[in-house]
Amino acid sequence: MMKKYEAMAKLDLPEDERRWIAGLAEKLLEGFAVLNDINLPQAGDAAPPVPPTDALRDDVAVKAFARDDILAAAPERYDGYFQIPKTVV
């Protein structure tokens, strides 16, 4: 069952890690089952406990990071861009 979520998470686990995670996931899901026993008093909302408040800044242009600063952190770059494998053959 976890194989599907392994692919969704963009992982390709070695067998020992896959077994460890599957075992732990099984225990976690057993624990999560307690939620089924909870009957909420009403339909219930899913609002966060601390309501978000607007903290809007003035609508003015500000200098963000320089392109070179951001690219400096990239594993590979080429001609001012992030470099990735060819996607269109």
Question: Which residues form the interface with another protein (CB under 8 A)?
Answer: 2, 5-6, 8-13, 17, 20-21, 24-25, 28, 31-32, 34-36, 38, 40-41, 44-50, 65, 69-70, 72-76, 82, 84-87
> How many H helices and E strands in the chain?
3, 2
Give the C-alpha separation, 69 to 66, whole Å: 5
* Cβ nearer to another protein, comparing 42 with 61: 42
Q: What's the sign of the alpha-carbon dihedral 64, 67, 85, 87?
A: positive
CB of 79 to another protein, least distance (A): 16
CB of 62 to another protein, least distance (A): 13
Question: CA end-to-end span of the chain, whole Å?
Answer: 34
Give the C-alpha separation, 22 to 34, whole Å: 20
* Cβ nearer to another protein, comparing 61 with 87: 87
CB of 61 to another protein, least distance (A): 18
